[in-house]
Structure 1
Amino acid sequence: MRSLEGLKTFSYLEELILDNNLLGNDLRLPRLPHLHTLTLNKNQITELESLLDHLAEVVPSLQYLSLLGNMACPNELVCKEKDEDDYQRYRYFVLHKLTNLKFLDTRKVTRREREEALVRGAFMKVVKPKDAKASSDSASTSPEMHYTPLPSGSRDLTNHRGILGKCRYIYYGKHSEGNRFIRDDQL
């Protein structure tokens, strides 16, 4: 599904589940004043702030929101580089924008999270460069060489030198986890 035009006839709608669709940043909901539950899991939403501003305007009674599986929701399921700290900053920012939420994604909103969102939520917005291609072009025209831990002789791709080493370590198995549970009479 890519269009939500027909929803405007359901002005008393209370729950809306739009999981596993191709909804993107152009998502526009009609005004649904009674909507309290909205799930947008596994869609193609990447811009969080514009979505939250739109939701604050058109669904004022929203209490339950889930955005898991979207790039806008930073967690390990979507991106390996994201961690729990990224997800917690995301939660603070969402709670700053949508103050009536009681439940976000898979967790209930705690009193401590709500207090933190009031104080610092506006500063938890993730800022991305406007144009990644422009910044990479300016970096490639830079005369200085980027840092590399390799010695200067190995930076030249036309001059290859290999290194062969020999290790004298012998593994006896004394400290193996598997040997911890085997007794001598079982050998």
Structure 2
Amino acid sequence: MEESHINSFAVSFENNRLTYCGQDCQRIPPALWKMYGDKVAYLDLSYNSIETLKGLEQFPRLDELILDNNEIGDGVGFPSLPHLRTLSLNNNRITDLEGFVNRISECFPSLSYLSLLSNKACPNQLSDLDKDESDYQRYRYFVIYKMSNLRFLDSRRVSSSERAQAQTRGSFMRVRRPLPEPEDTRPRARAAGRERPLPVDFSALGKHRGAYGKCNYKYTGKHSEGNRFIVNSDL
């Protein structure tokens, strides 16, 4: 679709919360930041094909950023957003965990909620069937060690005991970057069915909404979002 224009029926803006989902745009449409940029505290651009975050700096008041199910990879640049507290990048193309964590630690110093499920950089069975809970726990120790302000990582609260373990063991828990797949086996377009619902512990998250709770936004697009999250009792 022509990204200089937006589908006005897909835009929802209310109480400083802006959503624009399922429109297959490869970048943030300039019309969004021109119309809403300095007013937005919550931005949801899920279920697009976003590869670059150019223009994100035009949202200086941003507190929550939801970018689930896009095409964001290791080369993406992040602007400085000192007020950002929540970042959700589930089901993207991030493989280099250490490089990613170093960049967002510098650009988002207030970040306390982060979710990276279904990225190669997050080694659990949503991204790799060969991984297990011990692989995932090592990843958690490393991220918590690097980002001491985190309160939630993926679907779980950071516990005090986990934080203590991260301080003593985290620097030794670097997750090896997986080998890249051959380019011709990775079509850029998102294949139907690639998106998978992500588990979340609602009881631990309290009333927080956004990437970690029930999303209350208008959705108009080419993809049916359905139930983005499931809990264990639904399995």
Question: Cα distance, 1:128 vs. partner?
Answer: 5.1
Correspondence 1:33-182 to 2 at 5 A: 33-127=82-176
Which protein is richer in helix relative to its size? 1
Matched letter for residue 123 of structure 1? F
Does the residue aligned with 2:129 lie in a helix, a strand or coil?
Answer: coil
Higher strand share: 2
Taking the aligned partners of 1:83 and 1:129, their CA distance within structure 2 comes to 15
Which of the pair has more CA radius of gyration? 1
Partner of 1:26: 75
Distance 1:11 1:81 in 2: 40
Offset, 1:29: 1.1
Cα displacement (A) at 1:99 = 0.6
Note the alpha carbon deviations across 1:47-72, whole angstroms, 9 max, x for none. Answer: 00000000110000000000000000
Measured after TM superposition, the shift of residue 127 of structure 1 is 3.2
Q: 2-side partners of 1:17 and 1:129: how far apart?
A: 25
Give the distance between the partners of 1:99 and 1:76, measured in 2 at CA.
25
CA shift digits 1:97-155 (9 cap, x unpaired): 11100000000000011001111100000235989xxxxxxxxxxxxxxxxxxxxxxxx
3-state DSSP class of the match of 2:87?
Answer: strand
Q: 1:7 to 1:110 in 2, by over 3 A?
A: same
Q: Which runs of 5+ in 1 are unaligned?
A: 132-187
Paired positions, count:
132
Classify 1:125/1:117 alpha carbon distance in 2 versus 1 (closer, same or farther; 3 Å).
same
Task: Name the SS of the counterpart of 2:118 in structure 1.
Answer: coil
Whichever residue aligns with residue 3 of structure 1, its letter is T
Instruction: Indicate conservation of the 8 Å contact 2:96/2:177, yes or no.
Output: no
Q: Percent identity?
A: 54
Computed over aligned residues only, the root mean square deviation of the Cα atoms, in angstroms, reads 1.7
Q: TM-score normalized by structure 1?
A: 0.68
